[in-house]
Structure 1
Amino acid sequence: MADVKANAEALVPKFKFERQLNQDQAGRRTTLLGSIDSQPALLILERAPFPTSTDYLSSAPLTLRTLKNLGANDIYHWYMATSGGASPNSDSEEDDFSDLKINLIYPCTPKHIAKYSKQAVRYVSETPEIYRDHGRKEVEDVIYRTPFGEDPEEGFLLLPDLNWDRKTLDALHLLGLVERRDIWSLRDLKKKHVPFLRHMKRKFIEATTKVYPDIEADQLKLYVHYQPTYYHFHIHIVHVQLEAGATQAVGKAVGLDSIIETLEVMGGDGEAGMNRLTMCYTLGEESDLWKEVFGPLKKEEKEQQQ
């Protein structure tokens, strides 16, 4: 058994690189073609999970070889960095060997701590009645908005999502923030907004493909979060190759095209809207909505069944 293990471990250092075949998991896994002893070989590299030891975690920020700020917005900052163990080629561009994407929230609040803490998740159904009575519990999290322009009906900002490294196009993730202030979230959308939604979809795609000409329109998908992180209507624009994680999962993301189609077939006049529907989504047990609304409702329902 020891000989088998030793022989297996001796293979990797003999790998001779030919070319990269693929990169996925938002750049965390890469597939290489090469050879070992003149025989073709595939080498698949994937970043291992971060160690959980206190010694490693406490020293990690102090051992960075390089740190480059990508942008900042109020308390949110994001960077590309090279870890202490990395050994970049001196001829390479800095961005080519940055192996860490770092987000910093400073100063953070108890709500940030609760949001990013490991917690159980529930799948809840928000009826129109619950939305009417409790649906705007987190409105106070509104972020900075640009001043009104000449045509606030069409104004918007296109910003990189904090989790995108701004380099890997297959992992592209942008946020389109509309300038108009009368729409808080998906729940405020009505039949009368369909022309606006179609117009903004076209504008966001045009802007994205202009800034990133290597991306074509049919390589983009647009969706809206519910519940959103903050209550100012915004649309996520992502590359179709971006592997679906929690932010694109059912119970979190709702396709913009599906929203438009739902509104178009909905009965009623222009004021009929998404506030009439029951919305189902996942919710962390540390969130205010679970603690103050859905948790008590579940407890009440259990008591009634006893």
Structure 2
Amino acid sequence: MAEQSVDGAATEESLAKKMKAIEPEEASKVADSVHDTALRLSSFQMTRILNVNSMRKQLMVEGTFKGQESPAIVIMEKKVFPEDDIFLKRGFFNEGTIIRKVYSNDVYGNYECFPTREHNGLNVTIIHPASQKHLDKFSRKELYLVNETYEIYESVTLPYLESNSFSLQWVDNILSHKAEYDKIIYEDKDKEKGFIMLPDLKWDGTLASLDILVLAKKRIKSLRELNDSHLPLLRNIRDTGTDVIKKKYNLSSSQLRIYLHYQPSYYHLHVHFSYLMHEVPGIHCEKAHLISTVINNIEIVPDYYQKAVLSFVVKENDPLCKKYQESGVLTVIDSQTEI
């Protein structure tokens, strides 16, 4: 959505989805976004570091762009190393490469290395204008594990989500072909078991980091709503999705991680397909549910997800975390211990 990092919960969620998470009342502000200008990062003035994720080599900072009053979030992440033959022939080092010895011991040596500019690139995500919810999401917070029964879901989680969830307009735009139509990899137009398959925005396009998103045509909030009536949809997503990836990217089903998040970063049913060798955010046991396991659970117990206890992480000071505290679901002691 956790990952062992400065802020595991934040890194477990797709940054691309957060970037799209604009509430209805804030939609008008997008017209003043820096994305509509000739963007210059030299005009970005940092005001504070929101988070550092050492595992993902990621830095998130808040600041402002020159001429803009509203805050922005800039997320910088080290690029994945290439694996193609052209890279091998061209090489990684040259005369301009700087290397400094840190220490050596027997056959092992530790060095600092500074390759040429071509290999020092970053993947950068910019959110502007950034709302307070965006700033809160990307700021470092302590994490707590919630064991949610279906009764807790109905009495605490669902009422909160219905009154505070982000707009799903961007999802509807994709489903209605108003946006990202040129990115669609595959589409099944069936109203009940159909879906749209497209690259996740955080995927850089390399096979090594394959990350594909599937959006169900039917409006289903999350894993919690699934039952045996949804098995045709889930099987279609799994089977057709793997066939498409096999034909287009030459990866078999056994090389794919196919999963749903709970809690998801937005409440329209979606499934992630990622290359098994690529450790994407949000694949840990307190976040990800393999689609094969989901299907099997429902085949055994048709209303499994209306009976099961689902565990997930919430962040300290998050409004939902406070709701769990107020209802007695979660007790936080000295901001460090939860019972």
TM over 0.5: yes
Give CA-to-partner distance per residue, 1:192-249, whole Å, 9 cap, x none: 2223211111122122233323x2332111011000000000001110001264x111
> 1:47 deviation in Å?
10
- Look up the match of 1:179: 217
Please tell me whether the aligned partners of residues 131 and 275 of structure 1 are also in contact (alpha carbons under 8 angstroms).
no
Establish whether residue 281 from structure 1 lines up as the match of residue 312 from structure 2: yes
How many angstroms apart in 2 are the aligned matches of 1:106 and 1:147?
A: 25
Distance 1:77 1:193, change over 3 A: farther
Please tell me whether the aligned partners of residues 159 and 176 of structure 1 are also in contact (alpha carbons under 8 angstroms).
yes
- Look up the match of 2:275: 239
**TM-score normalised to structure 2 length:** 0.56
Give CA-to-partner distance per residue, 1:117-144, whole Å, 9 cap, x none: 1110001111111111122223432422
- Look up the match of 1:248: 283
| Equivalent of residue 138 in structure 2, options 116, 119, 129 | 116
How many angstroms apart in 1 are the aligned matches of 2:330 and 2:145?
A: 15
| Equivalent of residue 297 in structure 1, options 328, 334, 338 | 328
- Look up the match of 2:296: 261
Percent identity between matched residues is: 27
Please tell me whether the aligned partners of residues 73 and 135 of structure 2 are also in contact (alpha carbons under 8 angstroms).
no
> 1:189 deviation in Å?
0.4
Establish whether residue 200 from structure 1 lines up as the match of residue 237 from structure 2: yes
**Aligned positions, number:** 224
Distance 1:150 1:204, change over 3 A: closer
Establish whether residue 138 from structure 1 lines up as the match of residue 198 from structure 2: no
Work out which of the two has the higher radius of gyration on C-alpha atoms and give 1 or 2. Answer: 1
Please tell me whether the aligned partners of residues 220 and 239 of structure 1 are also in contact (alpha carbons under 8 angstroms).
yes
TM-align CA RMSD: 4.0
Unmatched 5+ stretches in structure 2: 1-53, 67-71, 80-91, 95-117, 178-187, 334-339
- Look up the match of 2:176: 147
Paired residue secondary structure (1:249): coil
How many angstroms apart in 2 are the aligned matches of 1:298 and 1:257?
A: 30
> Which range moved further: 251-260 or 192-201?
192-201
- Pairing of 1:1-306 with structure 2 (within 5 A): 97=119, 99-136=121-158, 137-139=160-162, 140-143=165-168, 144=170, 145=172, 146-147=175-176, 151-167=190-206, 169-181=207-219, 183-213=220-250, 215-243=251-279, 245=281, 247-266=282-301, 272-294=303-325, 296-298=327-329
Which letter does structure 2 place at the counterpart of 1:165?
A: D
Distance 1:301 1:221, change over 3 A: closer
Distance 1:47 1:300, change over 3 A: closer
> 1:172 deviation in Å?
1.2
How many angstroms apart in 1 are the aligned matches of 2:56 and 2:151?
A: 45
> 1:288 deviation in Å?
2.2
**TM-score normalised to structure 1 length:** 0.62
Please tell me whether the aligned partners of residues 188 and 273 of structure 1 are also in contact (alpha carbons under 8 angstroms).
no
Which letter does structure 2 place at the counterpart of 1:104?
A: I
How many angstroms apart in 2 are the aligned matches of 1:248 and 1:276?
A: 23
> 1:76 deviation in Å?
11
> 1:297 deviation in Å?
1.5
Paired residue secondary structure (2:328): helix
Give CA-to-partner distance per residue, 1:235-288, whole Å, 9 cap, x none: 01110001264x11111111111111111111xxx5x24122111111111322
Give CA-to-partner distance per residue, 1:46-98, whole Å, 9 cap, x none: 9995789x9xx979x99xxxxxxxxxxxx99999999xxxx999xxxxxx747
> 1:147 deviation in Å?
3.0
Which letter does structure 2 place at the counterpart of 1:231?
A: Y
Please tell me whether the aligned partners of residues 259 and 288 of structure 2 are also in contact (alpha carbons under 8 angstroms).
yes
How many angstroms apart in 2 are the aligned matches of 1:221 and 1:184?
A: 22
Paired residue secondary structure (2:140): coil
- Report 1 or 2 for greater relative contact order, CA contacts < 8 Å, sequence distance ≥ 6: 2
Please tell me whether the aligned partners of residues 138 and 230 of structure 1 are also in contact (alpha carbons under 8 angstroms).
no
